[in-house]
């Protein structure tokens, strides 16, 4: 299960993934905040699209990620 | 630019800051448009709290009448700034822009000044599709009677916004939506930039690249890459399209002898064509190779990301055009 | 009422519920996809307004036409659009209604009389008028329902469309979905008078209905359609309703709450699906079937998504197709 960066508003092309709240191997529930992301207008959170286990984190904290980029992989529950 | 306090700022925030400064210095400046109070795109954020609802007014979705109201208001004592949200909506109000705002001063023999600004987000923003992805700057340039400003950086945007509000003429100020979320240095005390003055964003000797709005960043990246291949590219950002800083471009091509124009707009009758034509006229003896344009395809912007990418600007196209122009020998 | 008659009515009524359930399921799926970052562009959801589209389209034939808005998924599904082809279009696939060229706001299906969703507020008003004009000139027994929002009621073209349809007695039903918010502005702050009253200036009927009561909408539409078919001209209907979600998905993070929570709660308590279900159950319908219907529609939408997901993206070269029609 891919975790992609959603588009919050028309002007958003990319965001800064400021902090991860989970590590590889953690169990997560659908809707659980996985990371903080910062854009030109707002600080938002990236939520888990479904329940499962975090298999892979693909972006480093503090880096810029594009809308639609896959930043994590979950093994579905 | 004063260097007292320069901060990396988002483009939308920079514009909001410039508008605030413009409103603070002149009580006759008002802001109109859909949702200018809440400002979901961000360019008018906080203004209603600062200046109140007499000067910052949410308007209904009535583009033609609100655009036209700005003409009437500007003719009779106000300096209105209207946020049209998306530049495609200029088409809803085209009579009031083309037949009224761009015509009244001329038709009256100079009796009327229309110090107004039409502000809009413009260009593709990722699958906004045909009715929300236009870049109408070429159409507006062709009208005559209205200035067109199209900056590529937050610093330029802030300075040009102040200048646009102060200008006694109607000005269309375009915010490239690909750049709206970008960051750049903006001084705390914003100085107005001259409308009609281009900026050389990168100096070079072998080829002049004129790039418009979001194309500037792409052109700079290509120029940096080609440096490694021994190509020295000069990148000029016109910043204002009407009035266009022809001197800056002709002076540059007189040195380099080569021209590539990168325009985020359709090819036919676009700004790029105008720039190529004028430079060919003015710099014919200097040209070492054929001028080239990099533009969109001549179709509406499609929805699917694959299709949108296929018809809009790609960096490889810019690189190809620059490389070919540099390799050209006067016969190609 | 005879049992057979009641059964016939029940079948129709259950069908109305099922169609509303389909729209709800489709929009919920779109909501989830958007949240995961799987949908290109932006979407405007119809959740909470299902009774308007379904009530109105329930009195139309396939040959009748509609124009829709940026919030058009509900209108299109109510008119019979195929969820698979819609979902594929939303995902930008080659198999979508518009081959990936239009997206959510521009879906068209001429075979079902769907003249298109539209990204320009008020953009459909003149188009619907023209559709009515064609029927008049060609003497066809057809009507056009023009869906538009309270935001569009302030576009100059509404005035022009009502006037033109009135003077030429065009078979058009102008149906305003008043969900009380124009993007993020309260409509009453930027709209003078009552929208339904705007008909009076043109000497045509204008009524206000409860847009969350599918049968009330159906009845008002039926009256307007009958008038249009009889050659008596256009009508204006203002259906009061509410969108459960925002203007577009993803806005909440920067718009903040711009509607009072108690207002939202009150309208959600009047969910058109729940209201209709309760009414039918009160009238004697078996309650279990509604859950079954909702599950069935959810499954249909899940299949639509799978179809879309497995469909290819369009070929890049196809971006240049479909601009002009071929000539000899």
Residue C255 pLDDT class (50, 70, 90 cuts): confident
B62-73 as b/e: b if 16+ CB within 10 A: bbbebbbbbbeb
Q: Among partner residues A10, A67, A68, which is closest to B177 by beta-carbon distance?
A: A10
Partners of C148 in the beta sheet?
A: C176
Residue burial B103-132, b: 16+ Cβ < 10 Å; e: rest = bbbeeeeeeeebbbbbbbbbbbbbbbbbbb
Q: Which of B132, B147, B239, B319 is catalytic?
A: B132
Q: Do C106 and B129 touch (CB under 8 A)?
A: yes
Annotation says B132 is catalytic:
yes
Residue B129, chain C, CB below 8 Å: the answer is yes
Q: Please tell me if residue B42 touches chain A, with a CB cutoff of 8 Å.
A: yes
What value does the mean pLDDT take over residues B139-143?
98
Name subunits touching A (3+ CB pairs < 8 A).
Answer: B, C
Q: Say which of A7, A40, A67 has its CB closest to residue B10.
A: A40
pLDDT digits (tens, 9 = 90+) for C32-75: 999 888 899 989 999 999 999 999 999 999 999 999 999 999 99
**Mean of the per-residue pLDDT values for chain C?**
94
pTM over 0.90: yes
| Whether B127 and C92 lie within 8 Å, measured CB to CB | yes
Q: Considering only the beta carbons, identify the residue of A6, A9, A42 that sits closest to C37.
A: A6
Cα distances (Å, whole numbers) of residue B260 to A8, B197, B227, B263:
35, 19, 16, 10
Best mutation target, B45, B181, B183, B301, to test chain A (most A CBs within 10 A)? B181
Residue in B125, B180, B305 nearest the CB of A40: B180
pLDDT at B3 over 70: no
- Of the CA atoms within 13 Å of residue B261, those in its CB half-sphere come to 25
Contacts of C319 in chain B (CB under 8 A): 297, 299, 302, 307, 310-311
pLDDT digits (tens, 9 = 90+) for B82-134: 999 999 999 999 999 999 999 999 999 999 999 999 999 999 999 999 999 99
d(CA C113, CA C117): 12
User: Quick one: C289 exposed, middle or buried, by C-beta within 10 A (0-12, 13-18, 19+)?
Assistant: middle
Which range, of B7-11, B149-153, B232-236, averages the lowest pLDDT?
A: B7-11
d(CA B180, CA B125): 10
Query: Quick one: tokens of C284?
Result: 């004697």
Least Cα distance to C107 among C134, C87, C126 occurs for: C87
| Cβ atoms of A67 and A13 closer than 8 Å | yes
Positive/negative CA dihedral, C303, C309, C311, C313 = positive
pLDDT at B253: 98
- Tell which A residues from 13 to 72 touch B, by Cβ distance under 8 Å: 13-14, 39-41, 67-68
Residue of B nearest to C158 (CA): B62
Asked if B11 reaches chain A (Cβ–Cβ under 8 Å), the answer is yes
A45 pLDDT more than 90: no
Q: Is the pLDDT of residue C176 over 50?
A: yes
* pLDDT band, very low/low/confident/very high, at C9 (cuts 50, 70, 90): low
CA distances from B95 to B103, B207, C160, C232, C289 (A): 11, 40, 16, 33, 56
| Mean pLDDT on B202-215 | 98
pLDDT at C311 over 80: yes
Concatenate the DSSP letters of all residues of C72-97 into one string.
-HHHHHHTT--HHHHHHHHTT-TTST
Contact C38 A4 (CB under 8 A): yes
Tell whether the model's pLDDT for residue B330 goes beyond 90.
Answer: no
CA angle B8, B14, B19 (to 5 degrees): 160
| Residue from the list A9, A41, A68 with its beta carbon closest to the beta carbon of C37 | A68
Task: Compute the mean pLDDT over every residue in chain B, rounded to the nearest whole number.
Answer: 95
Residue whose entry in the numeric block shows the structure tokens 């023209």 = C130
Q: Is the Cβ pair B310, C316 closer than 8 Å?
A: yes
Answer yes or no: do C100 and B132 touch at CB < 8 A. Answer: no
Give every CB contact of residue B200 below 8 A, 6+ residues apart in sequence. B234, B235, B236, B237, B248, B252
State the smallest CA–CA distance between residue C81 and chain A in angstroms. 27
The ipTM assigned to this model is 0.90
Judged on CB neighbours under 10 Å (0-12, 13-18, 19+), B46 is: middle
Q: Which residues contact C306 (CB under 8 A, 6 or more apart)?
A: none
Closest Cβ opposite residue B177 in set A11, A14, A68: A11
> Distance (Å) from the C-alpha of residue C296 to the closest C-alpha of chain B?
29
A8-22, B199-213, C101-115: which range is least confident on average?
A: A8-22
Beta carbons of C42 and A10 less than 8 Å apart: yes
Strand pairing report for B240-242 and B147-149: antiparallel
Query: Closest by alpha carbon to C176, among C234, C105, C232, C249?
Result: C234
Write the residue in B35, B126, B307 that is nearest to C316 by C-beta: B307
Contact assignment for B129 to C103 by CB distance below 8 Å? yes
Contacts of C38 in chain A (CB under 8 A): 4
Cβ contacts of C32 on chain A, cutoff 8 Å: 49
**Per-residue confidence (pLDDT) for residue B173, from 0 to 100:** 98
Strand partners, C147: C175
A46 Cα to chain B: minimum distance (Å): 18
User: Residue holding tokens 């400002």?
Assistant: B39
Counting every residue written for chain C, the total comes to 328
Residues 6+ apart with CB under 8 A from B304: B127, C40, C92, C93, C96, C100, C101, C103, C313, C314
pLDDT at B1: 47
Which residue in chain B has the smallest CA separation from A6?
A: B126
The answer to whether the Cβ–Cβ distance between C250 and A7 falls below 8 Å is yes
| Tens of pLDDT, residues C179-227 | 999 999 999 999 999 999 999 999 999 999 999 999 999 999 999 999 9
pLDDT at C1 over 50: no
A41 CB neighbours in chain B (<8 A) are 10, 12, 42
Q: Average pLDDT, stretch B188-203?
A: 96
pLDDT per position as a tens digit, B213-267: 999 999 999 999 999 999 999 999 999 999 999 999 999 999 999 999 999 999 9
Contacts of C254 in chain B (CB under 8 A): 40, 42
Give the pLDDT band (50/70/90) at residue A50.
confident
Q: How far apart are CA C158 and CA A2, in angstroms?
A: 45
CB contact under 8 A, C41 and B127: yes
Average pLDDT over residues C113-132: 95
C313 contacts in chain B (CB < 8 Å): 304-306
Q: With an 8 Å Cβ cutoff, are A10 and B10 in contact?
A: no
CB < 8 Å to A68, chain B: 126, 305
Phi then psi dihedrals of residue B6, to 5 deg:
-110, 125
Residue contacts between B and C (CB atoms, under 8 Å): 126
What does each C-alpha distance from A72 to A59, B196, C75, C197 come to in angstroms? 7, 47, 37, 54
- Interface-testing mutation among B61, B90, B126, with chain C (most C C-beta atoms within 10 A): B61
């Amino acid at each position: 299960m891919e975790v992609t960066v959603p588009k919050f508003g028309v002007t958003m092309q990319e965001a800064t993934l400021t902090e991860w709240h989970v590590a590889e191997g953690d169990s997560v529930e659908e809707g659980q905040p996985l990371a903080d992301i910062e854009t030109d207008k707002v600080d938002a959170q990236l939520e888990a699209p479904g329940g499962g286990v975090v298999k892979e984190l693909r972006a480093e904290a503090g880096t810029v990620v594009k809308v639609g980029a896959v930043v994590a992989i979950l093994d579905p529950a | 630019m004063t260097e007292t306090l320069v901060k990396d700022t988002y483009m939308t925030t920079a514009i909001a800051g410039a508008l605030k400064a413009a409103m603070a210095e002149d009580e006759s400046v008002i802001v109109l448009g859909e949702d200018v109070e809440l400002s979901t795109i961000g360019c008018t954020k906080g203004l209603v709290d600062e200046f109140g609802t007499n000067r910052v007014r949410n308007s209904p979705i009535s583009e033609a009448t609100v655009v036209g109201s700005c003409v009437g208001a500007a003719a009779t004592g106000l300096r209105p700034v209207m946020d049209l949200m998306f530049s495609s909506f200029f088409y809803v109000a085209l009579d009031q822009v083309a037949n009224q705002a761009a015509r009244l001063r001329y038709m009256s023999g100079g009796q009327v000044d229309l110090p107004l600004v039409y502000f809009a987000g413009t260009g593709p923003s990722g699958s906004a599709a045909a009715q929300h992805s236009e870049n109408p700057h070429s159409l507006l340039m062709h009208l005559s009677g209205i200035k067109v400003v199209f900056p590529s950086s937050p610093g330029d945007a802030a300075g040009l916004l102040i200048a646009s509000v102060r200008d006694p003429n109607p000005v269309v100020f375009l915010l490239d939506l690909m750049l709206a979320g970008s960051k750049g240095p903006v001084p705390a005390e914003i100085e107005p930039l001259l409308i009609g003055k281009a900026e050389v964003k990168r100096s070079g000797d072998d080829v002049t690249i004129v790039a418009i709005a979001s194309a500037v960043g792409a052109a700079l990246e290509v120029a940096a890459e080609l440096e490694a291949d021994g190509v020295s590219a000069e990148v000029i950002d016109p910043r204002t399209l009407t009035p266009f800083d022809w001197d800056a471009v002709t002076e540059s091509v007189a040195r380099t002898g080569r021209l590539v124009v990168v325009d985020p707009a359709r090819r036919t009758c676009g700004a790029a064509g105008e720039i190529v034509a004028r430079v060919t006229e003015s710099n014919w003896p200097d040209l070492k190779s054929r001028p080239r344009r990099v533009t969109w395809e001549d179709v509406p912007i499609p929805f699917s990301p694959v299709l949108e990418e296929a018809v809009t600007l790609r960096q490889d196209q810019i690189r190809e055009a620059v490389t070919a122009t540099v390799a050209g020998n006067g016969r190609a | 009422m005879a049992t057979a008659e009641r059964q016939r009515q029940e079948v129709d009524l259950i069908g109305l519920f099922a169609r509303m359930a389909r729209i709800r399921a489709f929009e919920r799926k779109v909501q989830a996809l958007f949240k995961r970052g799987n949908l290109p562009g932006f979407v405007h959801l119809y959740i909470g307004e299902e009774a308007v589209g379904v009530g109105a389209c329930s009195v139309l034939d396939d040959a009748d036409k509609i124009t829709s808005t940026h919030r058009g998924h509900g209108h299109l599904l109510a008119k019979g659009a195929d969820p698979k082809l819609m979902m594929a279009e939303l995902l930008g696939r080659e198999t979508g209604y518009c081959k990936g060229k239009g997206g959510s706001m521009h879906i068209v299906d001429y075979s079902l009389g769907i003249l298109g969703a539209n990204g320009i507020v008020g953009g459909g008003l003149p188009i619907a008028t023209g559709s009515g004009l064609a029927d008049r000139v060609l003497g066809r027994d057809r009507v056009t329902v023009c869906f538009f929002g309270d935001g569009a009621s302030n576009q100059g073209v509404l005035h022009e469309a009502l006037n033109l349809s009135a003077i030429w007695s065009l078979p058009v039903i102008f149906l305003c979905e008043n969900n009380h918010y124009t993007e993020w502005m309260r409509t009453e702050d930027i709209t003078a008078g009552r929208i339904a009253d705007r008909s009076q200036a043109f000497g045509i009927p204008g009524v206000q209905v409860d847009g969350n009561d599918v049968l009330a909408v159906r009845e008002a539409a039926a009256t307007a359609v009958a008038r249009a078919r009889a050659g008596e001209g256009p009508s204006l209907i203002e259906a009061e309703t509410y969108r459960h979600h925002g203007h577009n998905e993803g806005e909440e993070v920067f718009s903040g709450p711009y509607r009072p929570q108690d207002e939202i709660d009150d309208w959600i308590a009047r969910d058109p699906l729940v209201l209709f279900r309760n009414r039918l159950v009160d009238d004697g319908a078996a309650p279990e079937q509604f859950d079954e219907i909702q599950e069935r529609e959810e499954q249909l939408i899940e299949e639509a998504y799978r179809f879309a997901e497995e469909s290819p993206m369009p070929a890049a070269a196809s971006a240049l197709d479909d601009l002009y029609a071929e000539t000899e």
